[in-house]
Structure 1
C-alpha cells in the first residue's frame, strides 16, 4: 500500500474511515478515479445509489443496486462510524433522514455521501472538508426555527420569539 500512501492519508480525514477501511476502498477502486467519469458512476458501481423502478409513471421505492460487495461492506462500516461521530455533517444528515426514511435507508444515504466525497477527494487531491453538525440549521435558519417551535408546541409549550440584542 506504499504507493497509495497519499490517497490513504486523504481518506483518513473522513469521519468513520479508519486505516483498514481506507485500504479496502483503495484496493477495490484501484485508487484511480479516472475510470469513473463522475461521482454518480462510482456510487452506482459501488452499489450505494438508490434503485429506480418506474412503471406507468409511478416511481417505486426499491432496493439499492447490486454492486461491489467488499466496497459496500467497507462503506457500511464507515457510515456506522460516521453517524456515531458527534457534531459532524454526516451525523446531522443521518439524523434528518432517519426521522423520515428510517435508519437503514438513512445509512445508505450516508454511504452515498461518503463515496461521493471520496470521489471528489481523490479526483481533486484535497482533504475532506467537514461542514459541521450545524450545517443544516445554518443553511436555512428559518426552517430550523419553525422545526423547534413545532417541537415545543407538540410538548405543550407556547413560544414567543424575541431576538437577542447584538446577534446577527
Structure 2
C-alpha cells in the first residue's frame, strides 16, 4: 500500500521499467570519461520508495521463494549490500509490471529457481568446453 501511495496507480510517466528503476536509483549509473569507466555504482538517494523496496528485499531474502533464493545466491557471491539492491530492483520491476500492465506474479518457488539456475550453469559449461574442443558427458548414476 505504501508503494502505491508513493508512486500512484498510474505509472505511465515512466515509459519502461528501466526508467522506473533509474528514478528509484536502483540501477547503476555509468560515469565514463575518455572510454574509461570511472564509476558504475548506484547513486545515493533519499527516495522513500527505494528504501521500502530495499527493506522488502532484505525481508524476502529470508523466505523460501524464488526471490529469496535469488537474494541468497547473490549475497554469497557479491555481498549482502549489492544483493539487497539487485533484489530491490527485481521487486521494483515486478511492481511496475503489475501496476502498469496488470500482470500477476505467481512465485515459482525456490526449487524451480534452483533447477533453472542449474540448467544455465550446465549449458554454460557445455559451451565453454566446446570452445576448448571438449565434449562433456554426464556421469553415470548422477542426475
Please confirm whether the aligned pair reaches a TM-score higher than 0.5, indicating the same fold. Answer: yes
Residue 79 of structure 2, aligned match among 89, 102, 105: 102
Cα deviation per residue 1:9-29 (whole Å; 9 max; x = unaligned)?
A: xxxxxxxxxxxxxx2211111
The answer for the alignment partner of 1:52 in structure 2 is: 30
How far the C-alpha of 1:115 sits from its partner, in A, is 0.2
Alignment gaps of 5+ in structure 2: 126-137
How far the C-alpha of 1:78 sits from its partner, in A, is 0.7
Residue 103 of structure 2, aligned match among 126, 132, 136: 126
Alignment gaps of 5+ in structure 1: 1-22, 148-159
Matched, 1:34 2:12: yes
Q: Distance between the aligned counterparts of 1:38 and 1:110, measured in 2?
A: 18
The answer for the alignment partner of 2:62 in structure 1 is: 84
Give the secondary structure class of the aligned counterpart of 2:110: coil
CA contact (8 A) 1:43 1:112 kept: yes
Looking at both structures, which has the greater relative contact order when contacts are Cα pairs under 8 Å and sequence separation is at least 6? 1
How far the C-alpha of 1:91 sits from its partner, in A, is 1.6
Q: TM-score, normalised by structure 2?
A: 0.75
